Structure 1
Amino acid sequence: MGKLKNEKELLKKAIRVGIRYAENRGVAKFDATDSANEKTEYLYKLLVHDKLIAPLPKEKESLVTIKHKLALWASKLE
Structure 2
Amino acid sequence: MKKNKNKNNNDAKLLKKAMELGFSFAKKQGYGDLEKTVSSTERVECIYRLLIQSKQITPLAVDQENGVNMKHKLVLWITRLLPPDHELLQ
Bucket of the pairwise TM-score, normalised by the shorter protein: 0.7 to 0.9
Q: Which runs of 5+ in 2 are unaligned?
A: 1-6, 83-90
The alignment of Structure 1 onto Structure 2 pairs a total of residues equal to 74
Q: Of Structure 1 and Structure 2, which has the larger fraction of its residues in helix? A: 2
Give deviations 1:47-68, integer Å, cap 9, x for gaps.
Answer: 0011000000001111100000
Q: CA deviation at 1:29?
A: 1.8
2: CA distance, partners of 1:37 / 1:48:
17
Find the counterpart in structure 2 of residue 46 from structure 1.
50
Q: CA deviation at 1:36?
A: 1.5
Query: Segments of 4+ in structure 1 off by > 3 A?
Result: none
2: CA distance, partners of 1:56 / 1:28:
25
Find the counterpart in structure 2 of residue 74 from structure 1.
78
Q: Which runs of 5+ in 1 are unaligned?
A: none
RMSD, aligned CA: 1.0
Q: CA deviation at 1:76?
A: 1.2
Q: CA deviation at 1:34?
A: 2.2
Question: Identity across aligned pairs (percent)?
Answer: 41
Which of the pair has more CA radius of gyration? 2
